[in-house]
Amino acid sequence: MSKSRVGRMVQIVPMTWDDLPEVLAIERESQAEPWSERSFGEELARPETWAFVARLSGTWGEGIEMHSRGSVGLNFPTDHGMPLCGYVCFWIVADELQIMNIAVHRSFRRRGIGWALLSHALGAGVASGARRAFLEVRKSNGGARKLYEKAGFSKVGERPGYYGLDQEAAVLMEMVLYPPDSDPTSLFQRQVRSC
């Protein structure tokens, strides 16, 4: 499925308190150490936090509903009319963007939704003057690491024992959104077009 088609089938909109039940369901299935409702609430209350959800459009949502009836755990229809399939939370502080949390429902992975959420976050960072983006990812999360590398992130280090339950290392990744004295949109747009 092409990335341009994903744009017509997914709407990325600001996360609201009403989204938390769906967000928490995806968080619990996606993360070994999931954020709590309180953690998400604290993030939504912070002025530096940006949070967005991806909702399926009617066409894609109808097809997925038929395919996944009874097995996915998404509620059809939702209060919003479109099922929530992923989310991203990030901070923009000074000239840095920090991806705090990003996840896609397991039934919708590898369809461009993670890419759409990540691109949305990076675009917001560029528009807000961020020059660099950072994130941490589990060393064993090869799928996410491939996505981040494709977007232009590079490994800059590791934090051994970062994740508490299993003491897994976190891979630290960084992306230059645009270097000093350059057009902030040109480098990012070239990177997005090349993927």
Higher pLDDT, 193 or 33: 33
Predicted pLDDT of residue 167? 85
pLDDT of residue 79: 47
Give me the CATH topology for the region 3-194.
Aminopeptidase (3.40.630)
The confidence score (pLDDT) of residue 33 equals: 86
Structure tokens at 176: 């230059």
- Give 87's strand partners: 53, 103
Q: What percent of the chain has pLDDT over 90?
A: 52
What value does the mean pLDDT take over residues 163-190? 75
Q: 80: which DSSP letter?
A: T
Instruction: Give CB contacts under 8 A, 24+ apart, made by 28-32.
Output: 29/73, 29/105, 29/106, 30/103, 30/104, 30/105, 30/106, 31/103, 32/138, 32/163, 32/165, 32/166
Residue 123 confidence (pLDDT) above 50: yes
Classify residue 157 as exposed, middle or buried by CB count within 10 Å of its CB (0-12, 13-18, 19+).
Answer: exposed
pTM for the structure as a whole:
0.78
Query: Are 86 and 104 in contact, with CB atoms under 8 Å apart?
Result: yes
pLDDT for residue 138 is more than 60: yes
- The stretch 25-38 carries a mean pLDDT of 91
Q: Is the pLDDT of residue 150 over 70?
A: yes
Each as own residue / partner, the long-range contacts of residues 148-157 (CB below 8 Å, 24 or more positions apart, any chain) are 148/118, 148/173, 148/175, 150/115, 150/195, 151/115, 151/118, 151/119, 151/122, 151/175, 151/191, 151/195, 152/176, 152/191
Give the residue, 177 or 184, on which the prediction is more confident.
177
Give the span between the Cα atoms of 10 and 169, in whole angstroms.
33
- Check: CB of residue 24 under 8 Å from CB of residue 40: yes
Q: Which residue has the tokens 């232009």?
A: 152
* Average pLDDT value for residue range 132-144: 93
Mean pLDDT of the chain: 80
For residue 41, what are its two tokens? 């609430």
Over 70: is that where the pLDDT of 7 sits?
no
Quote the pLDDT of residue 181. Answer: 65
DSSP letter (8 states) at residue 107: G
Strand ranges inside 145-189, DSSP E:
154-159, 170-176
Tokens of residue 34, six digits: 């999931």
Supply the pLDDT for residue 180. 65
CB atoms within 10 A of CB 68: 16
pLDDT (0 to 100) of residue 56: 86
User: Where in the chain are the domains?
Assistant: 3-194
